[in-house]
Amino acid sequence: MPRTTLTTVSLIALVWTAMLSFGGVAAETVMLYPNIFGDPPASLDRAREFLVEGGPSDYFPPLGAAVVLCSLAATVLTWRIPGLRWWIAGSAAVFIACEFLFSVVFFWPRNDIMFVDPVGTHTPEYLRQVAEEFVAGHWVRVVGGAVTSTLAFTALLRWVRATAAAPVERVEAVR
């Protein structure tokens, strides 16, 4: 497969996975969060009962891994093209910082408090505080997903415009 085709496919895969992730976070924000965090601790108890067979933890980790792998592939394939390199590297860095690292440090401990620790372990006041912190911190993921998708999509547009040009102008148009 020619490198141009491989680069195009990797950029499309990156945009697709990044937008799926962002769309999932946006949908979760408007559909699940009002029900999960609407009236803690009662709403947290209902969420524990509802999210038994599947939930966000089944969807986002594999999708996040796909975004990271697509980011790595796109970064390797576009590294020699300065006009794309930093769009892709920026997209990867924002995703890893806002979706992965921030989740590990900020969200995972709060998830344990709200959904893993046995019911009755924490006071209702403490659960309300943790739920408020979780919802406030969630906006970092929303913004991170939007920025990741925008940077990746910009790189794809720049690549498509450059490769649609006459063959002699392809590389120079991107740089």
Buried b (16+ CB within 10 A) or exposed e, 116-137: eeeeeebeeeebbebbeebeee
SS3 per-residue string spanning 101-153: HHHHHHHHHHHHHHHHCCCCCCCHHHHHHHHHHHHHHHHHHHHHHHHHHHHHH
Q: Which residue has the tokens 């769009």?
A: 87
- Percentage of residues in the chain with pLDDT exceeding 70? 94
pLDDT tops 70 at residue 171: no
Residues 6+ apart with CB under 8 A from 91: 14, 18, 71, 147, 148, 149, 151, 152, 155
Check residue 34 and report its DSSP letter: H
Per-residue pLDDT reduced to its tens digit, 27-46: 999 999 999 999 999 999 99
Query: How many angstroms separate the CA atoms of 161 and 139, rounded?
Result: 33
Per-residue pLDDT reduced to its tens digit, 93-116: 999 999 999 999 999 999 999 999
Q: Is the pTM of this model over 0.85?
A: yes
Query: How many angstroms separate the CA atoms of 58 and 119, rounded?
Result: 22
How many domains does the chain fold into? 1
Domain span holding position 58: 3-174
Rg (CA), the chain: 20
Query: How many angstroms separate the CA atoms of 95 and 87, rounded?
Result: 12
Predicted pLDDT at 175: 60
Per-residue pLDDT reduced to its tens digit, 59-95: 999 999 999 999 999 999 999 999 899 999 999 999 9
